[in-house]
Every structure is written in C-alpha cells, then in structure tokens.
C-alpha cells in the first residue's frame, strides 16, 4: 500500500512539525537548488566528454593483479582524470590510501633536501602536520631536510600577498594551498581566488610549483584549480570524485613532470606509473567519477538546506544560508554538548547502514577532546556519504558533509532536527 509522503516520514520517525518546518525552509531554496542542478549538468557533461575523448570501453573495467603491467584500464582512467581536469597527466590509484597520502606523495615526490615548502593558506589540514614535520614525526619531510614556512590568510579570509612576497625565498620550491576550510572556521577559497594567488606567486618566480589540496572541492564549481594555473592538485576518492562508489583511492593531477615525480615516490624510482595492479576496482572508479558531479550536487543541497534550517533557528552556521559554496562542508555551532550529540545521533539514525547504533563521544587518538562521529556508510570513513562529527569542546560545533542522494541528505537533516526537538533544544511552532 502506498502511504502519502507525510505518513512515510512519520513512519521514519519525523514528526509533522519537523517536516513542516523543513518544507517551509525548502520553499525559499528553489533558486539555489536550480543553480546547483545546473552546475551538476555542466560538470556531468565535462566528465562524459572526457570519457568519450579518451574512448572509455568495456575492456577498461578489466582487472589486473601482480605487477599490473599493461593495465590499460588503469592508464585510461588516468587519461580521463587528466582530460576532465584539463591537466597533462594524472595518477589515480587504489594504492593511494587516502587524501593525506595523495598530498604527501605529491609533496615528497617533488621536494628535495634543502627545498622549502610554503603554505599560503595558513595551517594545513591536521594530518599534514606530521607529513610536513610541523609536529615532529618519523619520516616527515623535515627529517629529509625540507623546511616549511607558512603565511596565514588575512582576517577576511583572503590571501596575504604582501606576506607571500616576503616569505618567498630562493629555496621556495613549492607552495601549497588548501581549498577547503577543513575543520577551521575560515571561509573556503574559491577557484578564482586560488587562480589569483597562483598568478601572484608565478609573478615572483614562475618556477615555483603550485599545488592545491583539492579535498571536498571537486565539482562544486565549474572550474578546478588546474584550470587557473595549479601545477598539481590532489584529493581523496572517498570524497567527491569517487562518487560514493570508489572503495579506496586518491588522485594527483597536473603537469606531467610533477605527476611522474609523484609516481616515482608512490611506487619506486624507475618504475613509476608502470606498476600497480588495479585489483578489480576500476569499474567503481570510472562509474564513481561518472556519478560524482550529481553526488556532489546532492551533498551541496544538503549543506545549503542544513545551513538554512539551523540559521533560521538562531544557530551560527558557516557558510551562512546565502553564501556561495566552494566545498561541501557545513559547520553548525550549537553552543552545548547536548546539541552536538543530538545532531550526530540524528544523522546516524537516518543512515541506510548502522542506523540502529547510537554514537557517543569518545577520546579518539589524535584529538585533544572527546569527539562524536556519525557515519552509517557503505564505505568505511567515506565522507561523501552523509556523515558528521563534532569535538566536544567550545564552541560545540558540528561539521557535517555528504549525502549520496538529496533525499537522504534531507532525511538526515530532518532527523537531526527531530532529535534536537525531542530533547527540547529547539522549539518549533506547531
């Protein structure tokens, strides 16, 4: 028997007040959503065009094992990434364990003892601190004699051009820009802003390699950092470009010389891109990349919806409900541990996998406070799937992202609101 939509939401645990509140918010988001759909359409065509140009065929999905010599599907996929991102070359491999690994390989492959790495977007993502050696760590770039310097973004989130000019010196071999805010409260950088900063760096010294940490940014805009002068960019396949299907992996795209150097680090000098078996994952990589523009759009709609729901209820949200988007992460400040916990429990309760478990805050290694995480994901730790986490410390913010489909993202946000409502943390008119 077909229930009406309200009944079905009610069966799922969403009360009529919560559903009605969400619907009122959505009435005002039509134009926003249309723009997101148009972006998805543009990026979908871009990906299909790349697949057609590279003559993707059914043979590309065949597997290889052992050394992986002559794995044409693997090589063709790298051509597709390069074509879609308008770059010379790409390295797209299941042997790249995560986003941190992709970035680390790009850095270590291109830096040599005595070189300096300069971050021009402030402190890099937490896990990169040990890669670089900002926090002393075994095997870091610092141990290999690569020094590090950093220029923070200005108060308003823009690049500090004057500071960059002062920081660049003859040893500056590479600059790094992190597009997404990650778990900071600064604004995410737009591709246009990144392009301006790269042009500025190149005007000081055109030989400096400009690398962008593109995690969470892919397909949010019509262009990518490689369209505006980035020599290298890297990211994770269990975020946007894997489209939810890739079970592992990372990518590096950019100038051939620099991608090759990264490959000599990922495998070995001499072997580079020639080895590395694809072990049966290629179809998921291709198909995930194909779906990625639409999946990213679903995640973006979820982020915009959440921003507007919680802004309306008086909570600080970053980005705010109206701002343009350059990544898929949404932060909501609840101001209390109870708010963070209720939100994450709602996201978990709406998941297709592990919906019956109740996440609780715990002392995770590497964090200086308890953290609560919600993720009922098909791929473990995948953050293109609907997921949230919140450190239990002021300002008691949750960071959430993903949703492979818009209806799921919507359900997750309504369920988070339901939990806050049931706990009396928010009040909704009936």
Ligand X SMILES: *Cc1c(COP(=O)(O)O)cnc(C)c1O
SS3 373: strand
* 174: phi then psi, degrees, rounded to nearest 5: -150, 140
Q: Minimum Å distance from CB 109 to ligand X?
A: 17
Q: Minimum Å distance from CB 215 to ligand X?
A: 3
Task: Give yes or no for residue 213 binding ligand X (CB under 6 A).
Answer: yes
- Name which of 68 and 249 has its Cβ closer to ligand X: 249
The single residue listed with the structure tokens 């959505």 is 26
Region binding ligand X by CB under 6 A among candidate stretches 92-100, 112-120, 254-262, 412-420: 92-100
Length of the chain: 430
The torsion of the CA quartet 369, 372, 373, 376, rounded to 10 degrees, works out to 160
Q: Minimum Å distance from CB 363 to ligand X?
A: 19
**C-alpha distance across the termini of the chain, in Å:** 28
Identified binder of ligand X from the candidate list 96, 98, 307, 350, rule CB under 6 A: 98
Q: Minimum Å distance from CB 115 to ligand X?
A: 21
Q: CB–CB of 213/125 below 8 Å? A: yes
> HEC states along 84-103?
HCCCCEEEEECCCCCHHHHH
Task: Give yes or no for residue 176 binding ligand X (CB under 6 A).
Answer: no
Q: Minimum Å distance from CB 117 to ligand X?
A: 15
Identified binder of ligand X from the candidate list 236, 382, 387, 416, rule CB under 6 A: 236
Cα–Cα distance list, 194 to 97, 143, 158, 217, 239 (Å)? 26, 30, 10, 12, 20
- Name which of 216 and 396 has its Cβ closer to ligand X: 216
Region binding ligand X by CB under 6 A among candidate stretches 28-36, 62-70, 178-186, 410-418: 178-186
The first and second tokens of residue 154, run together, are 């200005």
The first and second tokens of residue 8, run together, are 């079905």
Task: Give yes or no for residue 182 binding ligand X (CB under 6 A).
Answer: yes
By C-alpha distance, which of 393, 348, 347, 352 is closest to 370? 393
Q: Minimum Å distance from CB 426 to ligand X?
A: 29
Identified binder of ligand X from the candidate list 140, 180, 240, 284, rule CB under 6 A: 180
Task: Give yes or no for residue 99 binding ligand X (CB under 6 A).
Answer: yes
Region binding ligand X by CB under 6 A among candidate stretches 132-140, 177-185, 295-303, 415-423: 177-185
Region binding ligand X by CB under 6 A among candidate stretches 37-45, 68-76, 211-219, 264-272: 211-219
Task: Give yes or no for residue 100 binding ligand X (CB under 6 A).
Answer: yes
Identified binder of ligand X from the candidate list 216, 289, 400, 406, rule CB under 6 A: 216
> Angle 337-349/406-422 helices, nearest 10 degrees?
140
- Output the DSSP codes for 175-203: EEEE-S-TTSSSPPPPHHHHHHHHHHHHH
Region binding ligand X by CB under 6 A among candidate stretches 23-31, 97-105, 204-212, 285-293: 97-105
Task: Give yes or no for residue 127 binding ligand X (CB under 6 A).
Answer: yes
Region binding ligand X by CB under 6 A among candidate stretches 93-101, 301-309, 339-347, 361-369: 93-101
Identified binder of ligand X from the candidate list 43, 178, 284, 387, rule CB under 6 A: 178
The first and second tokens of residue 26, run together, are 């959505």
The first and second tokens of residue 334, run together, are 């609840």
Task: Give yes or no for residue 172 binding ligand X (CB under 6 A).
Answer: no
Burial (CB count within 10 angstroms: exposed 0-12, middle 13-18, buried 19+), residue 284: buried
The runs of H, that is alpha helices, within 255-402 are 256-266, 282-312, 337-349
The first and second tokens of residue 430, run together, are 């009936």
Task: Give yes or no for residue 121 binding ligand X (CB under 6 A).
Answer: no
Residues contributing to the site for ligand X (CB under 6 A):
98-100, 125, 127, 178, 180, 182, 213, 215-216, 236
């Amino acid at each position: 028997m077909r229930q009406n939509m309200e009944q079905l939401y009610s069966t799922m645990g969403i009360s009529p007040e919560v559903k009605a509140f969400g619907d009122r918010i959505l009435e005002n988001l039509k134009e926003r959503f249309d723009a997101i759909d148009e972006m998805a359409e543009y990026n979908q065509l871009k990906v299909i065009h790349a697949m057609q140009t590279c003559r993707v065929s059914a043979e590309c999905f065949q597997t290889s094992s052992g050394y992986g010599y002559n794995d044409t599907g693997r090589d063709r996929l790298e051509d597709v990434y390069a074509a879609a991102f308008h770059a010379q070359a790409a390295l797209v491999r299941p042997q790249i364990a995560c986003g941190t690994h992709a970035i680390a390989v790009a850095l270590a492959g291109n830096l040599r003892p005595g070189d300096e790495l300069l971050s021009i977007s402030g402190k890099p993502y937490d896990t990169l601190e040990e890669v670089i050696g900002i926090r002393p760590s075994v095997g870091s770039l610092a141990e290999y004699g690569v020094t590090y310097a950093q220029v923070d973004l200005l108060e308003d989130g823009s690049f500090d051009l004057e500071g960059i000019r002062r920081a660049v010196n003859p040893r500056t071999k590479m600059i790094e820009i992190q597009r997404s805010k990650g778990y900071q409260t600064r604004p995410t950088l737009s591709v246009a802003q990144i392009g301006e900063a790269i042009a500025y760096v190149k005007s000081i010294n055109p030989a400096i390699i400009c690398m962008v940490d593109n995690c969470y940014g892919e397909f949010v805009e019509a262009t990518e950092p490689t369209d505006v002068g980035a020599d290298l960019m890297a990211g994770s396949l269990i975020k946007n470009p894997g489209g939810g299907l890739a079970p592992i992996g990372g990518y590096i795209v950019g100038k051939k010389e620099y991608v090759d150097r990264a490959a000599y680090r990922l495998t070995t000098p001499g072997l580079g891109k020639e080895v590395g078996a694809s072990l049966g994952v290629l179809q998921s990589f291709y198909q995930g990349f194909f779906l990625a523009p639409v999946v990213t759009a679903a995640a973006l709609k979820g982020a915009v919806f959440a921003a507007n729901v919680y802004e309306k209820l008086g909570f600080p949200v970053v980005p705010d409900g109206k701002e343009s988007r350059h990544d898929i992460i949404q932060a909501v400040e609840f101001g209390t541990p109870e708010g963070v916990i209720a939100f994450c429990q709602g996201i978990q309760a709406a998941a297709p996998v592990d919906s019956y478990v109740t996440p609780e805050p715990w002392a995770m290694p590497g964090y200086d406070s308890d953290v609560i995480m919600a993720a009922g994901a098909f791929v473990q730790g995948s953050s293109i799937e609907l997921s949230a986490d919140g450190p239990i410390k002021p300002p008691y913010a949750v960071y959430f992202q993903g949703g492979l489909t818009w209806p799921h993202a919507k359900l997750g946000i309504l369920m988070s609101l339901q939990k806050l409502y049931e706990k009396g943390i928010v009040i909704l008119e009936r």
